[in-house]
A = this chain, B = another copy of it.
Amino acid sequence: LAVSGRRLRVAILGAGTVGREVVRAFLETPARLQPADGSPLELAGVAVRDIARATAAGIPARLLTDAPAHLVGAQDVDIVVELMGGEEPARTLVAAALDAGRPVVTANKRLLARHGPSLEAIARRAESPLRFEATVAGGVPILAPLASDLGANAVTRVRGIVNGTTNFILSAMAHAGRSYGEALAAAQAAGYAEADPAADVEGQDAIEKLVILARLAFGAWLPPEAIPNQTTDDDGAAGPPGIIGVTAADIVAARAAGRTIKLLATAAPAGGVPGSIAARVVATAVPVDSPLGRTSGVLNRIEIDARPVGQVAFEGPGAGGAATSSAVIGDLIAIARGLGSTWAGLPEAGRGRVVAAEHEAYLVGPSGARYPVVD
């Protein structure tokens, strides 16, 4: 994709909360989509499932289609933005676009986490940029800074609160003394949790984000199904996944020990074997007064430990259409400027292996649940 004065035409697949905000940026602030040292961007079309609904939401009918595959393959489309979510048809459409030499921007963490190795292979073979800043921590710039600005560091640990839904629930339990069920209902009422909250509360969403962070931090694609979302007791019996076993009494007990419970995603190289990563996403007892302990509500916080930089941390809104659209638009501009893939500058990733974390202390709650204790 040569950088030139020619307009690059952008196809958007999906017009949900994020897609609508990206379309709005094209319609209302087009000057912001013209990088000073790259090609200007313009909107070619928007593929949606329900054209009438998209029109009612304010997207001009002339831009709309319900045939995403046709839009991806259209002669006059230069860049594809995939905001449909889910594995299919997103995977097929993204793979086809990359294979045809078209740059892709996606906010689809599940797609990247589950098909990262094959999509990276296609993108590299076809020399098609693939960018995915929006997949982790919404609008917070974390992936490009990790890959690019911190790219010469040796990362020794990545950890963070990367799921706003569970953090909203745990914050409501800690601050308002609510039960898990009450807090989940409040999150659903506030629009922070889905009707079927399993992917969030059982930790799968955070696992997918951790896979993507680990790709950039450690150069390895971890298999998401190998990342534990539960602790095991001394007999090897697994506790409840994610945060679904956390009780109000557990949080009170943690508080008495100066701690609070957070769903913490952690990955660190292990055993000195390249590609061997100790990774997990489990309810964890963090110091109540630490920056992680004080990360409340739907805020995200990610901490990178690396040499020579030390520890740097990134905070911000981990979700929401407007915030996430910032990352999508940032990626579009990066492509228009010829910056390549999110991993540009880093070597091709191999497949990584998830190993168990080192032995450590646990806080055992009144419910019997075990929470790793970390500082």
Contact = CB atoms under 8 A, between A and B. Distances in A.
A51 interface: no
Given A151-B35, A327-B149, A311 B322 contact: no
Interface in A45-79: none
A348 B36 contact: yes
Contacts of A345: 35-38, 333, 337
A316 B310 contact: yes
Contacts of A313: 314-316
Contacts of A156: none
Contact of A144 (B36, B38, B148): B148
B311 A316 contact: yes
Given A32-B152, A141-B149, A320-B310, A344 B333 contact: no
A330 B38 CA distance: 22
Contacts of A38: 345
A297 to B, nearest CB: 13
Contacts of A32: 152-154
A208 interface: no
Given A36-B345, A145-B145, A345-B36, A317 B326 contact: no
A363 interface: no
A205 interface: no
Given A294-B294, A344-B37, A317 B310 contact: yes
Contacts of A317: 309-312
Contacts of A310: 139, 316-317, 320, 322-323
20 contacts: A21-B308, A33-B152, A35-B151, A36-B347, A37-B344, A139-B309, A140-B312, A141-B145, A148-B333, A148-B334, A152-B326, A291-B315, A294-B294, A309-B316, A309-B327, A310-B316, A310-B323, A313-B315, A314-B314, A315-B315
Interface of A: 21, 25, 29, 32-33, 35-38, 133, 139-141, 144-145, 148-154, 291, 294, 306-317, 320, 322-323, 325-327, 329-330, 333-334, 337, 339-340, 344-348
Given A21-B308, A141-B312, 12 more contacts: A32-B153, A35-B345, A36-B346, A37-B344, A140-B309, A144-B145, A151-B333, A153-B326, A291-B315, A308-B325, A333-B345, A339-B339
